[in-house]
Amino acid sequence: MGGYDFASLQTKWQAIWEERQPFTVSDAGDKRPRKYVMDMFSYPSGDLHMGHAEAFAFGDVVARYWWQQGFQVLHPVGWDSFGLPAENAAIKRGTDPREWTYSNIDQQRAAMKAYGVSVDWTREIHTSDPEYYKWNQWLFLKMYEKGLAYRKDSWVNWDPVDQTVLANEQVLADGTSDRSGAVVVKKKLTQWYFKITDYADRLLDDLNQLEGRWPSKVLAMQRNWIGRSTGADVDFVVEGRSEKITVFTTRPDTLFGVTFMVVAPESDLAAELVAGQDDAQIRAVFQDFLTEVQKSSEIERMTADRPKNGVFLGRYAKNPITGERIPVWAADYVLPDYGHGAVMAVPAHDQRDLDFALKYDLPVRVVVDVNAPVTGVIPALELDENGLAILPDDLEPSNPAETGEALTGEGRLLNSGVFTGLSKSTGIKKIIEALETSGDGRAAKTYRLRDWLISRQRFWGTPIPIIHGADGTEVPVPYDQLPVELPSTEGLDLKPKGQSPLGAATDWVSVKDPRDGSDALRDPDTMDTFVDSSWYYLRYLNPNDPDKAFDPKEADKWAPVDQYVGGVEHAILHLLYARFITKVLFDLGYVGFTEPFSALLNQGMVLSGGAKMSKSKGGVNLSDELALHGVDAIRLTMAFAGPPEDDINWEDVSPAGAAKFLARAYRLAKDVTSAPDAVWSEGDQNLRRVTHRFLSESPGLVEAFKFNVVVARLMELVNAIRKVVDSGAGAADPAVREATETVALALSLFSPFVASEMWEMLGYDSDVATYGWRKADPTLLVETSITAIIQVNGKVRDRIEVSPKIASDELEKLARASEAVIRAVGDKEIVNVIVRAPRVVNIAVR
């Protein structure tokens, strides 16, 4: 590798930055406008890996860009330092998780500093510090007071490897744990929840505000996850039972087609219905069925298109609108925790209901004519004595009972009493109105989103600040007794046993009831670490404040975060939780905004051989690449590889090429012979034009995250300077200095070490990073002539050099006079001439 000694440059500049702290934000008396740029903080695994390196490289481009643009930029880092890897490591070594965690942090901090990220190191936070997690507890208590934190007994996701419960968001689509990879099982347990479902509408609707500033993919994922459906709740009276069964449906227009009802077998409702039923045979059959259902694993349950099984419960319900008597079944295709755990079955128009009806020989009744025109005049239909329509033969739709295909399309209602003939959407509206009038139903929404299960049965997390009194009352720990600190691990067995290890820390868990001093027990569970990360962006604003979680005045000044950078793996989990907690803090009056992250950039992954790069898998890894090519070249490689949100195949990019380019840039700084006070305007005008075009275009490109294009333009500029130095005006030309200084300033966004060195070589002792972007001189951006293209029928036939200010009619005259055009037109008739001065003329001929 020729060029320069990147290793000694890295050492030199790291020491200088350590001393100067150029990125520490004091704010006081600083009149510059503010920007808050934040990278997703890291779990302290000890090493910097490719994923971190890429995210920090991109985040740093943005942070350094705003510094150059004259802002004071808050760009903090912290550590997501609670969690299972530390705890598991501690179990393996018989040590305290604190040791592993804090030594990893030291190691990783050093790696990050060596990576040259523009960070305000005075604001570093660790979520495992009592000074931090105290405020998780404070947040919990605030939410508890508002009824947003509560405990309930429910079927939960249980990770049998990590021996703890998981939130829905932590279970992958294949039914395995996102952390341990174990197949998650269902357990019925009493757990703590945050009531995120209260915020479902706001979490969904506020996504519209983020449109265009968050990746559309993330917005789509969040919308899917929240999964709002609109429709109606309909109440069905059950014979011999005082309470009705309420079902949720998105198709109230098909109410006349209901031929049976289905409830989830494991729901309380099913048990009640069977209990109220005299036939012992039916009760026994149901019990067997329920046992069978509970045996099937979550994975089987989640596979679509499984055969549907069910049993008749021996009970009948009444259709509220037709008065018809319909049987009530229990079946495994109805889920206990969605909607009301019960459905009205319309087999003609729902594939699942149809599959079930055909299997158990239940009636199928068509109530929507999907062949009927959806728009236009509704044909007048004759009704029979039952109020049902008599249909002309050609309107007869296909019969689902014969085809096995449910009719789910748009159409017009059939056999639906006074509603017959209505379109789907009008039918939905009118039938809901009728239900509301009769009191048998109402418009309703339901969500896929579930409340956030936050308790965990592990040690290394934030203790839940609740005391359980002897009488079973939940007593919040008084605020002045926070934090509830984790005990020492001395004599404590952290091995997962399905119950929190804290429960066995006798001295810790036994407390006096704050109400009356009687014996009581602390809640032994700890919080999901996603609680820590749901508000950490606020803690950076006053990381050492002992009196409050964050300062609302600081939040007004800095928050929300202007630019958040991180991996798409948090598209739902962390980002949804942080949005939720921000809205809660807004409602509590602590912040004046409802979305935490105004803009989001998701970097792609770095792949090698089609797999994520990591040390354990062998092959290419970050530390080798850094040693081989230097920090600057690696960072530049990532910026140049393509759009930041795309994955990078390491085989497709060239760190050696990046290093070569940096060496070319560096050599220019060496070549410049003019003094720092050289008068640029006396320099080579063509080079100046290139420089100023670069100065003018780059900011927009950075703001659009087109880092790869900026680097390409920078390469262009370097090539242009080289040409002037070697075979033009020469190294002494003032324009060469101007252009080379521009290279150093722009390069500082991507490759700060070599940029700083170049800056020094060029005679400056200031920090290149905060020196300031130079404004383009508009007079150098004006083009003196422009190439107009002349087309005939859209095909380019001639090019002419014209003034950019040429008038349309003059350009047309020139175009018509062109010999190439005259030849192309020949004896054809000119039917139209489009002139877009000064760029294009198109002559349409026939």
Partner RNA sequence: GCCCCCGUAGCCCAAUCGGCAGAGGCAGGCGACUUAAAAUCGCUUCAGUCAGGGUUCGAGUCCCUGCGGGGGCACCA
**What amino acid occupies position 794?**
G
648-649 β-sheet, strand order: 611-612, 606-608, 648-649
Q: Give the binding range for RNA (CB under 7 A) out of 39-47, 236-244, 339-347, 480-488.
A: 339-347
Does 264 bind RNA (CB under 7 A)? Our answer is yes
Of residues 585, 455, 459, the one with CA closest to residue 530: 455
Among 220, 299, 383, 418, binds RNA (CB under 7 A): 220
Phi, psi values for residue 773, rounded to 5°? -75, 140
Q: Are 10 and 114 in contact (CB under 8 A)?
A: yes
Q: Give the binding range for RNA (CB under 7 A) out of 81-89, 488-496, 615-623, 649-657.
A: 649-657
Site string for RNA, 348-367 (x = CB under 7 A): --x-x--x------------
Does 610 bind RNA (CB under 7 A)? Our answer is no
Does 70 bind RNA (CB under 7 A)? Our answer is no
**What amino acid occupies position 541?**
L
Nearer to RNA, 86 or 171 (CB): 171
Q: Are 612 and 605 in contact (CB under 8 A)?
A: yes
Does 515 bind RNA (CB under 7 A)? Our answer is no
Q: For residues 450-479, which are near RNA according to CB under 7 A?
A: none
> What does the block give as tokens for 325?
């008597």
Phi, psi values for residue 542, rounded to 5°? -150, 70
Among 138, 338, 586, 764, binds RNA (CB under 7 A): 338
- Within 10 angstroms of residue 359's Cβ, the number of other Cβ atoms is 13
Residue reference for tokens 């509603």: 419
Following CA atoms 556, 557, 563, 565 in sequence, which dihedral angle do they give, to the nearest 10 degrees?
Answer: -80
Does 2 bind RNA (CB under 7 A)? Our answer is yes
Of residues 840, 835, 845, the one with CA closest to residue 800: 840
Q: For residues 715-774, which are near RNA according to CB under 7 A?
A: 715-716, 719, 722-723, 726
Does 180 bind RNA (CB under 7 A)? Our answer is no
Nearer to RNA, 458 or 713 (CB): 713
Does 650 bind RNA (CB under 7 A)? Our answer is no
Does 661 bind RNA (CB under 7 A)? Our answer is yes
Residue reference for tokens 């005008």: 685
Q: For residues 569-598, which are near RNA according to CB under 7 A?
A: 572
Does 652 bind RNA (CB under 7 A)? Our answer is yes
The distance of closest approach from Cβ of residue 728 to RNA in the complex, given in angstroms and rounded to an integer, is 11
Site string for RNA, 823-842 (x = CB under 7 A): ---------x-x-x--xx-x
Among 68, 446, 603, 818, binds RNA (CB under 7 A): 446
Among 498, 787, 807, 817, binds RNA (CB under 7 A): 787
Q: For residues 228-247, which are near RNA according to CB under 7 A?
A: 229, 231, 247
Does 706 bind RNA (CB under 7 A)? Our answer is yes
Q: CA-to-CA distance for 86 and 458, rounded, in angstroms?
A: 11
> What does the block give as tokens for 511?
């407390």
Q: CA-to-CA distance for 611 and 375, rounded, in angstroms?
A: 52
Nearer to RNA, 381 or 663 (CB): 663
In three-state secondary structure terms, 79 is strand
- Within 10 angstroms of residue 375's Cβ, the number of other Cβ atoms is 7
Of residues 107, 109, 118, the one with CA closest to residue 66: 118
Among 333, 460, 759, 773, binds RNA (CB under 7 A): 333
Does 251 bind RNA (CB under 7 A)? Our answer is yes
Does 692 bind RNA (CB under 7 A)? Our answer is no
The distance of closest approach from Cβ of residue 409 to RNA in the complex, given in angstroms and rounded to an integer, is 10
Among 185, 221, 588, 607, binds RNA (CB under 7 A): 221
The distance of closest approach from Cβ of residue 586 to RNA in the complex, given in angstroms and rounded to an integer, is 26
Among 33, 387, 409, 643, binds RNA (CB under 7 A): 643
Does 627 bind RNA (CB under 7 A)? Our answer is no
**What amino acid occupies position 551?**
D
Termini Cα distance of the chain: 62
Q: Are 714 and 725 in contact (CB under 8 A)?
A: no
Q: For residues 281-310, which are near RNA according to CB under 7 A?
A: 301-302, 304-309
Nearer to RNA, 466 or 658 (CB): 658
Cα radius of gyration (the chain): 34
Q: CA-to-CA distance for 577 and 572, rounded, in angstroms?
A: 8
Name, in order, each residue with C-beta under 8 angstroms of 93's C-beta and a sequence gap of 6 or more: 100
Among 93, 497, 617, 799, binds RNA (CB under 7 A): 799
